[in-house]
Structure 1
């Protein structure tokens, strides 16, 4: 009791195909895989970032107009773009 046999798994798969349609399942699986990869890379980046923070504090960039690249997601190069850092104009007159 409590175990799924091959008959129950096949029945569940048939119900899922009927509910979502066979055309949408590959897209859903692809987006689920992409989300899992993004989550994994973000977790890895957070771990390495916390190790780096413990080793030495980060210095702010010396050039305030230095351009850097912001990416929407790790590995997603299609949406990355260079941006100029904003300057603080409240102290300049």
Structure 2
């Protein structure tokens, strides 16, 4: 993950799958709530891949994972990498009123 402390919307998540098997339902932690666009998928047909892509990106679940407050359920391409970027930043609600 590349986190921009000054501009959260510039945070990028890089996920690699070094196996020859696509990984469906692969969960990772996410630092921000909301929708993440897929900026790059190395398995896209355009790059000579087999075409295992996540159409439309992914939206976070309110399920803490890997020490982060939110998580994403992804489809990872075989022998490939995806780069995700938050579409819009949602700030967590404060519990104190």
TM-score w.r.t. the length of structure 2 is: 0.21
Please say which structure displays the higher CA radius of gyration: 1
TM-score w.r.t. the length of structure 1 is: 0.22
* Structure with the higher fraction of residues in helix conformation: 1
